[in-house]
Amino acid sequence: MFGLGDKNSSNSLVMNTAHPDSLLDKGAQDVIGKPISRIDGPLKVSGHAAYAAEYGLANVAYGFLVGSTVGKGKITELHAEVAREVPGVIDVVVDYKTFLRNSQQGGEKKAPTQGVENVDYVGEPVAIVIAETYEAARDAAERVRLAVEYQEQEGRYSFNAYREEAKKPPYNNIPSHYDQGDVEKALAEAPVTLDRTYTTPSQNSAAMEPHASIASWDDDGRLTLYASLQMLSSDRQQLADALGLKLDKVRLVARYVGGGFGSKLGIAPESVAAAIAAKKLGRPVKVVMARQQVFEATVRRSNTEQRIRLGANADGTLTAIAHETICSNLPGEGYFEPAGQSTHFMYGGKNRLITHDLVELDWMLSGSMRAPGEAVGMLALETAMDELAETLGMDPIELRRRNDPDKDPEKNVPYSSRMLTQCMDKGAELFGWSERREALGDRRGDWFHGIGMAGAGRSNILMKSAAKVTVDGQGHAIVETDMTDIGTGTYTILAQIAAEMLGLPIEDVTVHLGDTDAPPGAGSGGSWGATSSGSSVYLACEALQKQIADKMGVEVGAMTLKDGRVIAENRSVPLAELVGDGINATGQVAPGLQAKLTTQASYGAHFAEVAVNAITGETRVVRMLGVFAAGRILNEKTARSQCLGGMTFGIGAALTEEVVHDPRNGKVVNHDLAEYHVPVNADVPALEVHFLDERDVHANPIHAKGIGELGICGAGAAIANAINNAVGVRMRDYPLTLDKLLDQLPPV
Amino acid sequence: MHWTINGQRYEAEPDIRTTLLDLAREHLGLTGSKKGCDHGQCGSCTMLVNGRRINSCLSLAVMHQDDEITTIEGLGQPDNLHPMQAAFVSHDGYQCGYCTPGQICSAVGMLDEVKKGFPSWVSDDLSSPSLNDQEIGERMSGNLCRCAAYPNIVDAIAEVAGLSEDQRQTSQKVSG
Amino acid sequence: MKPFSYAKADSPEAAIREVNTEHTRFIAGGTNLLDLMKLQVETPDKLVDISRLPLDEIEEREDGGLTIGALVPNSDLAADRRIIERYETLSRALLAGASGQLRNKASTGGNLLQRTRCYYFYDTASPCNKREPGTGCSAFGGLNRILAVIGTSEHCIATHPSDMAVAMRALDATIITLKRDGDKRRISIHDFYCLPGDTPHIENVLEPGELITHIELPAPVEGARQFYRKVRDRASYAFALVSIAGVVKVEDGRISHAALAFGGLAHMPWRNPDVEAALVGKAPTRDAFEAAADALLDGARGFGDNDFKIPLARRTLLATLRDVTGE
């Protein structure tokens, strides 16, 4: 399908059956899994990696979005004239019909909700001011923002006021409601029960690079958008749909992406605004969202209210799990925060109830943020397990061990691979878990120390993904796909896979990402990037191996590829010589029956030591350790960094991060990085990360599972549990800021 | 107007409101310095001005015409990296790379501050502070990294500072 | 940011002369001014660049105190040997504030003039009596977690964000200015800041075009202990929820000197003589500390989200006094 020529040039695999043998284990180059430094590193550390707003297009005009100042209403008069009188302003572009109301969710093929004449949240971009300079555009946009007149309408701005109106949303990756056995009866009969409600606030991905687009149209009416996006293939479809263009009239480029964490899965309002303005002006337009606009007008992780009820026998065996959740979103948005996602498969228990209900609010869009579902769901579940262990007088690891099922408790299928207990045991040993004391038992000066742990589990997903690999006449390999590297290490691990498969030094592999002119990749999200995109490169290289073997006149299995040479039957030929003008192949992987026949997830265990100030309730993480099993680790260095990042997101979620909505208009009040507290360097101690050796033959041909989100799953709960161990206080309203702890601390 | 950046003289006539950051990024083609917040809340824009690290987003370009300005591009090139840049690569002191130029400029400026005897909030003895991991963490807290490469950033800086493992762990304490 | 004209001054006198428009502002480090100008909270029509004035020295005074040039950067001030030896609370307060980059840029005079902090003050679309007198205060009924609990008015409950200025109050600093008419003026820091009252847009007593040139610190109290305690949400790079700068001396089992100033609680760096009166002459006991806390928090009022600041301030003060008066 990508201009494929001879039969050797394509290789597709649908994961219908297990794939027991991976050629990566047979490679002679010995680069796979190795802690190789990022191949894109020198460009990044020297400032030469170009992010979305850094393409030097000639004659570019600057756009600045105008956000609404009301939460719900209709624009009656925009007053563009207040901008036009500002020197340097070229135009105020208004297109009430086409502008995006909000960002799109990840993977959608259609445009998100369009139309901005009726505004649905504070900050909704209603117009764009275009000027010769950034300074003029920003100034004029602010003047317009304050001048727009609205007919205000009554809005719903309080979660607590409307939570009773929560409704069951449609299926979205998981069923919104799931019921098995008889939870109420099991709870009534259980000798030990727990019934707790946990709340988590809205959060913001806060990627360091703000959402940005440069739109440029060519003479044939083809749009090129340089943007900061995670999933180019579907983003391209969304953008084409929004603008009413054919797909081949849209090209997206995102070679370097300054973080996404879910917020750039779908296109954001600035993309369409830039495209429309550029079309109207006949010149390229650059739009970078201000940080405040990122907070107000992209996407948040929904707040959640989660009630967990557990029923257990005296020996700790769970008989009932109920995890009932409520979250919020804009009217008409079906996306719900799948907080119960990992509750489906983490622990055993015959009777199960997992529900997700959705409250419609006139707050900004909610959608995916790193580990949607698990990140906040496990804050609740893993704290509840700790509370149950406390109730039972049982070690929390032992409780989890006793409920580690040998098959999926709902689907009656085996786990593809699962090392939860091994992760806990290894972590306990490395962390010194046996030294854990009673609450309030470890005071050092004004600081109470405590330790806690939590399990981690994150669904493993395979996505359709394609890549083309070429070996050129110099014996150099080139990997091409529209996959993105958002900091995840994709450039490097794809190079490692190609190098291993083709027997090349890593320096002889070039990876081109982030351009929709290349075959469509899975995109970065849901921890599927490395495994899906990596499998497509693997498959392309498998096809290339056959071509090479043919040219060598041997069977593939009889051939060794190493250091740029093809070795077989006592011959050693340079690859460059063998391939002539070059060979290429395209690989494509797609999910199949294996996703149904097995339950696939990565697992881990978190351990944290905190110090809680006895006077003020300030909490500091003193040390933290994670043990993870995620199938084959493709690059030990970049995989570790992914885990460090996830664990730190866990620190933020547990202790500091909260988007606050004004109760009067839903506005994100703390819309900047001074007041939305992501962890700083001093908040994060040296974190330890360990990997267990594992292969998953059901997941994909490279036997790896997702790791980008595993590190956050359960991390915050380990901290919450450590706080409880330090001061004997159980807080259930995240983040666990000192104001919630103060009145439960001992007197000074 | 004119500037000296990375030893090179530049001339331009930007809007008077132009920040040093926007001057570099939008007028001079020096896009290595990043804009993450535009309000001094993230540190991605850090440059060295007369050797001192500052937030270039909170600096008017017009006010820095007589200064020696160093951006990430002036520290080293991809094939000739500054030791701090090389250490960030080998320790994976980044992921997405967006905050990285600011982190590196900040780290270079920070080590110079340590040499000059600048104390920090976590220094026990303000008159003779010595570097350890906690000091590095505190001194680098003006540079947010959402990918959260913080432990690796500390490793990279400790290596460039020549700290031994013992020095790195010396007198670490929980701090309010 | 709105357009402005720009002039650079090479002497304080020249700077004063450049004040010739309706809304001229001086700019030195610019870390707060440009922050606010980008949001159009501040809209000067002219900036006078004072960053190169020869006001960047710290000089000895005959009484054993120091005179600090208004343009000494925060980081240099914090690292100055004399400051560390004589005014440790000031050095620590400076180091508790902002980030290394910001401290390199921010000036001593500018730090004193930081605008108060409030989510709604920073958002031009929200009513705010400080930004636009008479429009109302959005912090009532809105988010007010970081806002003031002492000295508030029905018109404004914003907090002063500075750490440095808190220490300056504990140290009885005097602010030296050059007025537009060329006269010098000495203003005790205790008279410098204003409570919001019904004029929250007025934050200090400076007249239009008046330039801070120096800050004087009197000789330190010999034998006293100095400290700065800051409580915040992050370990670093966050505004104070509560902070305390202090100079406390214990002689013969009694507190002979106490100067305590508080951040995060009020519209200005807070100091209350009653707090110190409750301590001086008393033995450093729990009762005395409680009396001081009572004096501090007499009349304190929370607005919902920030209620916790009242017990937090009490607990932090008790523990800090315990520590500083102990062996």
Q: What is the pLDDT of residues A677-689, one digit of tens each?
A: 999 999 999 999 9
Which of A38, A46, A256 should be substituted to probe chain B, the one whose Cβ sees the most B Cβ atoms within 10 Å?
A: A46
Tell me if residue C243 falls in helix, strand or coil: strand
Does residue C203 share a domain with residue C88? yes
Q: Which residues of A are catalytic?
A: 709
Residue B140 contacts A, CB cutoff 8 Å: yes
Nearest chain C CA: its distance from A683 CA (Å)? 5
Residues 76-95 of B with CB under 8 A from A: 76-79, 81, 85-86, 88-90, 92, 94-95
Are C301 and C182 in contact by the 8 Å Cβ rule? The answer is no
Phi and psi at A731, nearest 5°, equal -100, 140
Could you tell me which of A624, A661, A656 has the C-alpha nearest to residue A643? A624
CA distance A558 to A354: 52
Which of B146, B150, B173 should be substituted to probe chain A, the one whose Cβ sees the most A Cβ atoms within 10 Å?
A: B146
Could you tell me which of B12, C57, C128, C240 has the C-alpha nearest to residue A738? C240
Handedness of CA C297, C300, C304, C306 (dihedral sign): negative
Strands B8-11, B52-55: pairing kind: unpaired
Does residue C308 share a domain with residue C183? no
Return the structure tokens found at A591: 């999910």
Residue C302 placed within a domain = yes
Task: State the average pLDDT for chain C.
Answer: 97
- Residues 6+ away with beta carbon under 8 Å from A103: A112, A263, A266, A267, A268, A269, A297, A298, A299, A365, A367
Return the structure tokens found at A336: 């719900």
Are A92 and A83 in contact by the 8 Å Cβ rule? The answer is yes
Are A201 and A676 in contact by the 8 Å Cβ rule? The answer is no
Could you tell me which of A527, A469, A526 has the C-alpha nearest to residue A499? A469
Pick the CATH number of A52-153+211-288 from 3.40.50.1100, 3.30.365.10, 3.20.20.10, 3.20.20.70: 3.30.365.10
Name residues of chain A where pLDDT drops below 70.
1-8
* Domain interval for residue C18: 5-49
> Number of CB pairs < 8 Å for A and C?
86
Dmax (CA) of chain B? 52
> Number of CB pairs < 8 Å for A and B?
206
Return the structure tokens found at A303: 């707040």
Name residues of chain B where pLDDT drops below 70.
none
Dmax (CA) of chain C? 62
Phi and psi at B21, nearest 5°, equal -65, -50
Of all residues in chain B, the one with the smallest CA distance to A136 is: B15
Cα B12 to Cα A62, A89, A508, B28, C4: the distances in Å are 18, 20, 41, 8, 19
Which residue bears the tokens 């190609």? A498
pLDDT value for C310: 98
Residue C210 placed within a domain = yes
Are C191 and C177 in contact by the 8 Å Cβ rule? The answer is no
**Which alpha helices (DSSP H) does A66-109 contain, by range?**
81-84
CA distance A471 to A581: 9
Q: Do C231 and A142 touch (CB under 8 A)?
A: no
CA distance C14 to A386: 68
Which residue bears the tokens 């764009």? A128
Residue C104 contacts B, CB cutoff 8 Å: yes
Are A639 and A708 in contact by the 8 Å Cβ rule? The answer is no
Domains, chain B, ranges and CATH?
2-75 (3.10.20.30), 83-169 (1.10.150.120)
Tell me the sheet residues that pair with C73.
C107
- Residue ending a domain, choose from C173, C189, C217: C217
Which residue bears the tokens 């494509």? A588
Does residue C106 share a domain with residue C69? yes
Would you kindly state where each structural domain of chain A is located, as residue ranges?
7-30+464-591, 52-153+211-288, 301-461+597-742
Does residue C210 share a domain with residue C237? no
A741 residue type, one letter = L
CA distance B45 to B55: 6
Q: Do C229 and B176 touch (CB under 8 A)?
A: yes
For A63-89, write each residue's pLDDT tens digit. Answer: 999 999 999 999 999 999 999 999 999
If you ran DSSP here, which 8-state letter would residue A288 be given? E
Chain C residues inside the 8 Å CB shell of B123 = 95
Residue C183 placed within a domain = yes
CATH of residue C311's domain is: 3.30.390.50
Rounded to 10°, the helix A374-392/A636-655 angle is 70
pLDDT value for A8: 53
Q: Which of C6, C30, C78 lies closest to B16 in CB terms?
A: C6
Cα C296 to Cα A616, B133, C151, C189, C261: the distances in Å are 17, 38, 11, 19, 10
Could you tell me which of C283, C235, C271, B158 has the C-alpha nearest to residue A681? C235
CA distance A546 to A527: 30
Could you tell me which of C72, C200, C187 has the C-alpha nearest to residue C133? C200
Cα A340 to Cα A158, A457, A458: the distances in Å are 23, 12, 11
C315 residue type, one letter = R
Are A232 and A242 in contact by the 8 Å Cβ rule? The answer is no
Does residue C104 share a domain with residue C11? no
Which H or E run contains C294? helix C286-297
CA distance B143 to B156: 15
Nearest chain B CA: its distance from A459 CA (Å)? 21
If you ran DSSP here, which 8-state letter would residue A91 be given? E
- Region C258-271 average pLDDT: 98
Does residue C182 share a domain with residue C38? no
Rounded to 10°, the helix A636-655/A715-727 angle is 50
Tell me the sheet residues that pair with A477.
A471, A509
Chain C residues inside the 8 Å CB shell of A680 = 234-237
CA distance B171 to C160: 33
Return the structure tokens found at A215: 């739109």
Q: Do A7-30+464-591 and A301-461+597-742 agree at the fold level?
A: yes
Return the ∠ at Cα C293 (arms to C288 and C299), rounded to 5°.
135
Q: How many residues does chain C have?
A: 327
Domain spanning A7-30+464-591: CATH 3.30.365.10: yes
- Region C227-243 average pLDDT: 98
Strands C211-217, C174-178: pairing kind: antiparallel
Does residue C198 share a domain with residue C63? yes
Handedness of CA B112, B118, B124, B126 (dihedral sign): positive
User: For chain C, percent helix, then strand, then coil, each to nearest 5?
Assistant: 25, 25, 50
Tell me the sheet residues that pair with A301.
A203
CA distance A567 to A583: 18
CA distance A409 to A403: 10
CA distance C101 to C98: 8
B83 residue type, one letter = P
Handedness of CA A523, A524, A527, A532 (dihedral sign): positive
The CATH class for the domain spanning A301-461+597-742 reads: alpha beta
CA distance C14 to C128: 35
For the beta carbon of residue C256, count every other beta carbon within 10 angstroms: 15
For A546-568, write each residue's pLDDT tens digit. Answer: 999 999 999 999 999 999 999 99
Does residue C67 share a domain with residue C44? no
Q: Which of B126, B127, B141 lies closest to C236 in CB terms?
A: B141
pLDDT value for B174: 84
Which of A36, A45, A506, A656 should be substituted to probe chain B, the one whose Cβ sees the most B Cβ atoms within 10 Å?
A: A45
If you ran DSSP here, which 8-state letter would residue A520 be given? P
Return the structure tokens found at A37: 């430094």
Residue C234 placed within a domain = yes
Half-sphere exposure of C305 (CA within 13 A, CB side): 17
ipTM over 0.85: yes
Number of independent structural domains in chain C = 3
Strands C184-188, C174-178: pairing kind: antiparallel
